[in-house]
Structure 1
Amino acid sequence: MLGKISLGTLGLTIGSILIIVGFIAYGADNATLNLVGFFYGFPLFLGGLALKANELKPIPFSQTTTPSVLTLRQQQATVTQNKLRTDITRFCYGQEAHLDRALDYLDLNPSDEERPVITSLRETEVNGAYCLILEFDSPLISMDIWQERHERMTKYFAPNVEVKITQPSENKIELALITTA
């Protein structure tokens, strides 16, 4: 639940409220509230600014997940699939991009400009199995390079996951993680 809330926005909001209370208390000659406003308000506000500057917004679902797929997720989803889904659908801090470490490991992150960017995800059913599809915008890394990394991806997302890579349109790559066994 905490991942669905922007900590930067929360810090900015609470810090601003406390700063305003501090200024009002200063005008009303209330030393206790004045100290609370300044000693807690400014650090919270500055912390909120720092978090906001380093914030990665959650990746949206491109399609609504159906109840039957939710049931499949509960029954079949692997630890890796669940971790990926929860990691990219929450606010993150201190990362350059979602899945940047995974893309580094898979040699799909030669530079910040060339890095594929995950734009959305969706959950579907493939032949009775749960499938998590990650949708990437990949204008500078071709489908051939993605295919060359297929074996490495299979090892990275293992166990019990089959990896399929498709290119629905130019510059778009879909990475499907299908539950096996």
Structure 2
Amino acid sequence: MLRQISLGTLGLTIGGILTIMGFVAYAGNNATLNLVGFFYGIPLLLGGLALKANELKPVPFTQKTSPSALILREQQATDTQNKIRKDITRYCYGQDAHLDTTLSFLGLSPTDQERPTVTGLREVEVNGNYALILEFDSPLIPIDVWQKKQEKMTNYFGPGLEVQITQPSENTIELALINTPKESLVSTQ
């Protein structure tokens, strides 16, 4: 739940209240509240402004996750899938974009202007397996460049995941990270 709270907004709110309280206390000749308002309120207000200026909003789910996909997530999701889902659905500070270092490593972000941006995600079931689908706005990097990087993506995101790349519409790329079932050992007797 704390991941969904903007620290910038929280700092602005509390800092604003304390600062206003400090000015009111100053006008009312109340030295103690005046000090609290000024010494805590103004720094919190400024800190909130700084965080707000550097804030990266969470990526929204584009469709509601079905109960069966939630069960599969609990049973099958890899550490990589869980980390990506948690990282992009929370407020971030000091980053240019969600997954910016990943896209840069994969060679999909030659410049900040060309970098695809994550616009949404969803969790679905694909052939009985859990899948995390990341939706990108990619107007300057075509699907053939994405597809050339598919093997590198498979290695990057680790074992146990299959990477599928599709283009549902112009300028939109969907990157599906699908859990691959572990091969069960069958003993012959």
Q: TM-score normalised to the size of structure 2? A: 0.95
After TM superposition, list the pairs within 5 Å mapping 1:2-151 onto structure 2: 2-151=2-151
CA–CA separation in structure 2 for the residues paired with 1:79 and 1:67: 20
Partners of 2:155 and 2:20 lie apart in 1 by: 54
Q: Give the whole-Å Cα distance in 2 for the aligned partners of 1:159 and 1:49.
A: 42
Q: What amino acid is the match of 2:110? A: P
**Distance in 2 (alpha carbons) for counterparts of 1:49 and 1:99:** 24
Identity among equivalent pairs (%): 71
What is the Cα-based RMSD across aligned positions, in Å?
0.6
The Cα of 1:139 is off from its aligned counterpart by 0.6
Counterpart Cα distance in 2 of 1:139 and 1:73: 31
Q: TM-score, normalised by structure 1?
A: 0.99
**SS at 2:81's partner residue?**
helix
> How far is the alpha carbon of 1:27 from its aligned partner?
1.2
For 2:55 and 2:168, the matched residues in 1 are separated by 30
5+ long unaligned stretches in structure 1: none
C-alpha distance in 1 between matches for 2:73 and 2:88: 16
Kindly name which structure, 1 or 2, has the bigger radius of gyration based on alpha carbons: 2
Q: Displacement of 1:3 after TM fit?
A: 1.4
Post-superposition CA distance 1:58-78 (Å, at most 9, x none): 000010001111010000000
CA distance in structure 1 between the partners assigned to 2:94 and 2:72 by the alignment: 33
For structure 2, the residue ranges without an aligned partner over 5 or more in a row are 182-189
| Amino acid in the other structure paired with 1:102 | T
**Aligned mates of 1:170, 1:89 — CA distance in 2:** 25
* CA displacement at 1:173 relative to structure 2: 0.4
